[in-house]
Chains A and B, each alone.
Chain A
Amino acid sequence: EAGVTQFPSHSVIEKGQTVTLRCDPISGHDNLYWYRRVMGKEIKFLLHFVKESKQDESGMPNNRFLAERTGGTYSTLKVQPAELEDSGVYFCASSQVSFGTEAFFGQGTRLTVV
């Protein structure tokens, strides 16, 4: 069974450009989470989808970030326009049911904004 996969693994963009990250969760996992780790800090929650619905987007930093999950399958996270402080590793995770089951992580996308 395939795990959570993320694309691209690395992205280097200039300030002001747009970047779109993609996450394919484990098949059958309704729950999809986006997290971000900025260097030296803890992994921070960004948002949570249940199927195609945003259950909680309280962690999204600002309106430059837009997450979608069309059809409840894969998800994209777009940053537009990117700023220097957006640099970090963006992780996606998925789990089977809402409450308390294990979440499995993708390998992450390392975003560098220069």
Chain B
Amino acid sequence: QKEVEQNSGPLSVPEGAIASLNCTYSDRGSQSFFWYRQYSGKSPELIMSIYSNGDKEDGRFTAQLNKASQYVSLLIRDSQPSDSATYLCAVCTTSGTYKYIFGTGTRLKVLA
């Protein structure tokens, strides 16, 4: 089992719709969770961090965390073509030293 799992996609949504991106992780002791956006040929850009169970909203983005289910998600409301990118889920593990473990990323396509 991979430490952080994401559906690679592509996930295609029409412009204006809600995009829902999901991530599961295996280390039950993980405490910090991050979503990064990566455009082709660019570096990962942090868009959301979440540390507690529940929802965290920032503009059109909402991160959701459920530690009991070891599940974290990212909702993008009113999706725009400019949101088309690969979204990387990262988990800061507590096994040994602290390091960020990434999923393979979900490619999102917002169709105009």
Contacts and interface: CB of A to CB of B under 8 A. Distances in A.
A63 interface: no
Contacts of B103: 42
Interface string A89-114: 00101000011111111111000000
Contact of A102 (B34, B96, B97, B101): B34
Interface stretch (B9-17, B41-49, B55-63, B68-76): B41-49
A106 B45 CA distance: 9
Given A42-B104, A91-B43, A93-B100, A102 B31 contact: no
A107 B39 CA distance: 11
Contacts, number: 60
Interface string A21-37: 00000000000010100
Interface residues of B, number: 26
Contacts of B101: 45
A56 B103 CA distance: 20
Interface string B4-36: 100000000000000000000000000110101
Contacts of B46: 102-105
18 contacts: A41-B104, A42-B103, A42-B104, A42-B105, A43-B88, A45-B101, A48-B99, A55-B98, A56-B99, A91-B43, A98-B98, A102-B34, A102-B49, A103-B90, A104-B46, A105-B36, A105-B45, A107-B42
Interface of B: 4, 31-32, 34, 36, 42-46, 49, 51, 88, 90, 92, 94, 96-105
